[in-house]
Amino acid sequence: MQEAAKRYKNAMLSDAKRDKFIVDYLPLVKSVVLRMKHNFPDNCQLEDMYGIGARALIVSVNQFDPSKGKSFGNYAAMRIRGALLDELRRLDYLPRSNRAKAKSLQQTILELESRNKRIPTEEEIQKELSISEKEYHALLKDTQPVTFVPIENQFDNHGQENESTSLLETLHDPTEQTSSEHLESKERVEKLRDLIKELPDQQKKILMLYYYEELRLSEIAKVFELSEGRISQILSQSVLTLKAQFKSLT
């Protein structure tokens, strides 16, 4: 960490070094944007998202305080994700009816879990809603923009808290007015981890491969010999389940 702080301070010694420092971190912007692009409407251009991310990177360089002992990379990633989430809120891209569907589905999952003392299966949710499998999958697709907000690991391999967007924050609807820089307590993050462990085995594995191992949907589909669409549906239900459980704790 001291070496990283020294590198940052050295980069601030001249405009040329500062500019090179920014360029060196541009791949981070691309990485965050590509991880979040499916949250944006189809008519939103990647170039616009890169621009938002790049501006957030520059702000990060200007405002970073190495004396706090934090990693610049984690700090910048947090600011970039926060800027993109702010843009999602500004666009208010998700129809109100779809948001209502997502909340209704979360409530159904929560009620079934309370009644059965376990996480409900897809079949049980379909029966409770009196809809077919096809209709249920269509419902998951309608609510997918709400559920597909990346979940990031809150702690590094050494158990140190980093400044990535918290698990708790990413389980909120990205159109809700919450602070993109708010970090939740370690205790609440650990509680959420416990909730993830309670997911059915397949859901848990797919969730971990996508959000923690950062595999693409196509790569996960090959692992499980399922279609990308099916993997997407499983991820959507997993996050909806976590949203419902988390809401019951707060």
Angle value at C-alpha 144, between 139 and 149, nearest 5 degrees? 155
Same domain, 166 and 72: no
Q: How confident is the model at residue 245 (pLDDT cuts 50, 70, 90)?
A: confident
Same domain, 75 and 100: no
Of 92, 109, 14, 22, the residue nearest 57 (C-alpha): 22
pLDDT of 13 higher than 90:
no
CA distances from 117 to 167, 197, 198, 235 (A): 24, 15, 11, 22
pLDDT at 247: 66
How far apart are alpha carbons 102 and 78 in whole angstroms? Answer: 26
Same domain, 211 and 113: yes
Domain containing 62 — which CATH number? 1.10.1740.10
Domain that holds residue 7: 2-91
The whole-number average pLDDT for the span 224-243 is 86
pLDDT of 197 higher than 90:
no
Domain containing 187 — which CATH number? 1.20.140
Same domain, 108 and 227: yes
Using only the alpha carbons of the chain, give its radius of gyration: 19
Same domain, 87 and 189: no
More confident residue, 16 or 100: 16
Same domain, 74 and 177: no
Same domain, 103 and 135: yes
Same domain, 154 and 244: yes
pLDDT of 146 higher than 60:
no
Of 247, 246, 245, the residue nearest 114 (C-alpha): 245
Mean of the per-residue pLDDT values of the chain: 76
Place of tokens 């249920």: 136
Place of tokens 């998700």: 94
Q: What's the whole-model pTM score?
A: 0.53
pLDDT of 56 higher than 90:
yes
pLDDT of 179 higher than 90:
no
Overall number of domains in the chain: 2
How far apart are alpha carbons 150 and 170 in whole angstroms? Answer: 7
Same domain, 72 and 106: no
